[in-house]
Structure 1
């Protein structure tokens, strides 16, 4: 103020990085050396992990094991697998050329069920892309990335359900085959553009393999329009973007590298850690008070609860009920069931469609607002206001699987 400079109105600050629940310090020997990160991991891996694991207002926990697990589950088996399987099918069934925009996205009078499914995938991609932008601009990086992985899960399921490898066996199915491939590729174009600020190197490689011109980092995600995939462009050689990391081998190599570095250091982290661990209490990650535990139950009571995996097929707001969403679910029972969930103030219907959730499947049905609710959705309750965070999965799980 004394020199006439206006004081800042907002200061953005994240929490502390810890490792294995403990403070990072030289005495404990758990310092994360940037040189080791650079030697064993790409910068995109570290950038993605940091954005996915660190939440503003809370501490973030880093371990090499956690980084490897996240890379393998989200990138290698998730995004990387989707890119590889899609481009290899374009290479095999379309002579490496991007297919034309199908009628499903041009003619509003489509009547075929498989065309309607493609439109549903399009709508999910657009809706979750907008959710990413909203969360990202609010510095909710982890939730923004969850929105992207919902697109990935939806497209993966779409490909598996459509079975393009079977469609390719009969020329009569050419239009449907090209629709599946075009829809998957267009979703990938959206995914690649919105992930570019977080993983600039990897998304640039995906962009190039897809035969797209320019760079995803220079593409404004808010200006993306569905249906503008450049047809007839030639894809390039399909290469693995995110190879699966050998966890056991990599951890051994990292430990050997850390040992070499410590031997050349004045600090002896192993001996220091043995003395410090006795006095070192685990760091509290959560800033909010933890709710008190409810009364104890025995194992027989717990076994009465039947928790199942369910896929959200449809979602809509319940008329004259501000808090309720009606969800139509596939819980692997052969026919859909519906539940009512009090999450409408925090989740839109579009955000819920396509998600894998956890439900209490054997809860006695009850009527709410004229609808029968046939179960209960599981969600965390955050803060004094009890903000719900719907529980889900990082990997694909079969509908109806028991927890």
Structure 2
């Protein structure tokens, strides 16, 4: 009989919803899952890593309608976006599909039909929110109202502002349409339900032996013991997987989304000639990495559906803690968000730094606080000060004094330290304790620094070259082990480090066992490069500034006010004194034919003839409204041509959002009067 630890492992991640950009909160799930898969492979396990875009449901339809595009166009845009972000962040999926792929439509229909045939799905006439003004039934997020459980404001499928309870159609009190904002009413319609209540005993037994993190297991057990009600699995939408025999209904997104795991495994099998059934009809383990907000769906709905349709159930559910931004609750609407591309990658930060931060900040089940200052401290103290310092000083010394990996025996104590570290890191990773794994690996780097420092090779090289060679050989072996240990967390940087110790193999496919194979003496070394550089204070100030501006803009929007423009740096009085601003009186104004925004304005500023100014005011003032107004004009601005018309100054105006007003004097002043 085979050992369970020898079996292939299927690892999945909760599907990113294809209606918005990737943010740091997303990576809280995907980075640890990628680290887990890489570590399994380093330990010699076969691991298949799959994911894909969640493309159905009412939010997709709502967003597409607002943008004037089809749901398919919307999801394709964000599917490509997530694929690219994951690739840039070093997250390597073996398959990354969409829930709108044919494989998912086919597998969803297979499972739904199986449940129907076995009597687990039945029709029931229920009351559905209906908007008389829009003349449509209102599924899920097309309706909002009051949670019947806690009395807080809630959306149609979940009490997202209060108790977190899953809500069935018809449960919401005081329903209102989210499209027209008018009151909704309940009307009767036939829908289809899954007999979730039949699976109570099965779920209690399943959850009792479920692996993963206790936060997922205990939360789910609490819900099952409290109450299990049957689950409405159809919705009034055109976009989605059609319910069998009912073209006016689609299956609920939380039916077809997790089935995507199975469909994407099929896609992997087709591409690699693999066997998808060993996971979904066999006994190979299935591990789900998810966010803490979707435990209910993965630990209750999903295993019950799989059991009812005669498929294998997940063996472990790993639920992450949530994410805060600068010690504030994560909120896109309030500006407390860090976008992976524009706020991180596009700012020039290396992907591995964020991977390290998310893996090593705290226990996987606890809340992560993303702070630019803490990010700076962790990178500078740990990656630069400990790990990077050991690699660079050791390899630089070896390069300068030997030019190659020197001869010498490796101490048994060094090999034992490496073995103990690998065992502890592997055990921590298997237990989903990624911080513990990272800290343990970093402890080996500290050990290496202490070993290098205490043996003083800079002295030995002058007194006993052979003894010095042995010390450096030991350090190179520690470096090799560290590179293998950190590859799951820092795949890009460890690829560079692997080359620096003279290895010509693929570090990503190298196993932990390679750490016990001595680096060949005589291997030529090149001048090492610094792998990690300090994150300077001015970079952190820039990033804080970006976040603060976003928060200010969001707060202004929430209050109905336009955000103020960013204040400019202080200047000296002499700088201001260089500006020649004078009172002017507009003589004439006319539109410039080649532009929708520009006006050609003649202004009397006290000279013999009016001054010609091109002003971007056509969207705010009609030409005839401008004539006769007393304005402030910057008259010593160098002339410039705009749409072929020369502008000999600038008319000053105040701007806040779309509100623009000319600056005028509060009493009559002669044209040409100076502003001081």
Assess same fold via TM > 0.5. Answer: yes
Q: What is the TM-score of this pair, normalised by structure 1?
A: 0.58
Q: Which residue of 2 aligns with 1:380?
A: none
Q: Is the 8 A contact 1:27 1:272 kept in 2?
A: no
| 431, 435, 440: which one aligns with 1:142 | 435
| 99, 123, 126: which one aligns with 2:419 | 126
| 218, 225, 234: which one aligns with 2:524 | 234
Q: How do 1:71-110 residues align onto structure 2 when only pairs under 5 Å count?
A: 71-94=379-402, 96-102=403-409, 105=410
Q: Offset at 1:123?
A: 2.1
Matched, 1:268 2:574: no
| Structure number, greater radius of gyration | 2
Q: Which residue of 1 aligns with 2:107?
A: none
Q: Which residue of 2 aligns with 1:55?
A: 363
Q: Which residue of 2 aligns with 1:207?
A: 498
Q: Which residue of 1 aligns with 2:113?
A: none
Distance in 2 (CA, whole Å) between partners of 1:200 and 1:179 is 29
Alpha carbons of 1:47 and 1:225: their partners in 2 closer, same or farther (altered >3 Å)? closer
Q: Which residue of 1 aligns with 2:597?
A: none
Distance in 2 (CA, whole Å) between partners of 1:138 and 1:156 is 28
Q: Which residue of 2 aligns with 1:21?
A: 327
Distance in 2 (CA, whole Å) between partners of 1:273 and 1:51 is 34
Q: Offset at 1:91?
A: 1.2
Q: How do 1:272-351 residues align onto structure 2 when only pairs under 5 Å count?
A: none
Q: Is the 8 A contact 1:97 1:234 kept in 2?
A: yes
Alpha carbons of 1:228 and 1:70: their partners in 2 closer, same or farther (altered >3 Å)? same
Give SS of 1:128's match. helix
Q: Is the 8 A contact 1:55 1:142 kept in 2?
A: yes
Alpha carbons of 1:75 and 1:31: their partners in 2 closer, same or farther (altered >3 Å)? same
Name the structure, 1 or 2, with higher relative contact order (CA <8 Å, separation 6+). Answer: 1
Distance in 2 (CA, whole Å) between partners of 1:216 and 1:84 is 18
Distance in 2 (CA, whole Å) between partners of 1:144 and 1:7 is 28
Q: Which residue of 2 aligns with 1:353?
A: none
Q: Is the 8 A contact 2:330 2:337 kept in 1?
A: yes
| 446, 459, 464: which one aligns with 1:153 | 446
Q: Is the 8 A contact 2:392 2:530 kept in 1?
A: yes
Q: What is the TM-score of this pair, normalised by structure 2?
A: 0.36
Q: Offset at 1:231?
A: 1.2
Q: Which residue of 2 aligns with 1:182?
A: 473
Alpha carbons of 1:273 and 1:100: their partners in 2 closer, same or farther (altered >3 Å)? farther
Aligned length: 252
Distance in 2 (CA, whole Å) between partners of 1:10 and 1:91 is 47
Q: Offset at 1:145?
A: 1.2
Distance in 1 (CA, whole Å) between partners of 2:445 and 2:547 is 36
| 332, 341, 345: which one aligns with 1:38 | 345
Distance in 2 (CA, whole Å) between partners of 1:214 and 1:145 is 24
Distance in 2 (CA, whole Å) between partners of 1:199 and 1:220 is 15
Alpha carbons of 1:162 and 1:274: their partners in 2 closer, same or farther (altered >3 Å)? farther
Distance in 1 (CA, whole Å) between partners of 2:430 and 2:526 is 33
| 193, 201, 205: which one aligns with 2:484 | 193
Q: Offset at 1:205?
A: 0.6
Distance in 2 (CA, whole Å) between partners of 1:274 and 1:74 is 42
Q: Is the 8 A contact 1:44 1:201 kept in 2?
A: yes
Alpha carbons of 1:59 and 1:255: their partners in 2 closer, same or farther (altered >3 Å)? closer
Distance in 1 (CA, whole Å) between partners of 2:321 and 2:308 is 31
Q: Offset at 1:274?
A: 9.5
Give SS of 1:6's match. coil
Matched, 1:168 2:456: no
Distance in 1 (CA, whole Å) between partners of 2:406 and 2:396 is 13
Give SS of 1:61's match. strand
RMSD: 2.3
Q: Is the 8 A contact 1:212 1:230 kept in 2?
A: no
Q: Is the 8 A contact 1:121 1:154 kept in 2?
A: no
Q: Offset at 1:22?
A: 2.5
Give SS of 1:12's match. strand
Q: Which residue of 1 aligns with 2:101?
A: none
Q: Which residue of 1 aligns with 2:298?
A: none
Q: Offset at 1:272?
A: 6.5
Distance in 2 (CA, whole Å) between partners of 1:189 and 1:21 is 37
Distance in 1 (CA, whole Å) between partners of 2:538 and 2:480 is 34
Give SS of 2:516's match. coil
Q: Is the 8 A contact 2:480 2:515 kept in 1?
A: no
Mark the runs of 5 or more structure 1 residues left unpaired by the alignment: 106-117, 276-403
